[in-house]
Amino acid sequence: MTVEEMAGEYAEKTEAEYGFDMHPKTASFQGFIDGYSEALRWRDPKEELPIDSCDVLVKTDEGRYYACYFCLEREGFFHEYCRLQGVIGWRPIE
């Protein structure tokens, strides 16, 4: 089930139980869904890098996931002081 489908079910339940509209197509709810989808989007490090000195979640070409630190000056993703190789995607840690 997608985030949008789950949100729609929740909105219908909320309207039935509490009597107010939280339909996923309203502007505020759609903004939430857009922000949520953007936060969960995997970014290709060949096309987009994180901001300097931040923590990110990465996935490697070996199918592993790591919480790590990105350092622009050293041009890499670091986990426990070791530079990770084979990073194929990253996303911010919110």
pLDDT (tens, 9 = 90+) of the chain, 94 residues, equals 666 676 666 666 655 565 555 555 565 666 677 777 777 889 999 999 999 999 999 999 999 999 999 999 988 999 988 999 999 999 988 7
Do 10 and 36 belong to one domain? yes
Give the predicted TM-score (pTM) of the model.
0.66
Residue indicated by tokens 């994180």:
50
Overall number of domains in the chain: 2
Do 33 and 58 belong to one domain? no
**In this structure, which amino acid lies at residue 92?**
P
Q: Which domain holds residue 8?
A: 3-40
| Dihedral sign for Cα atoms in the order 93, 52, 78, 43 | positive
pLDDT score for 23: 57
**Residue 46 within any structural domain of the chain:** no
pLDDT score for 87: 96
pLDDT score for 28: 62
**Residue 49 within any structural domain of the chain:** no
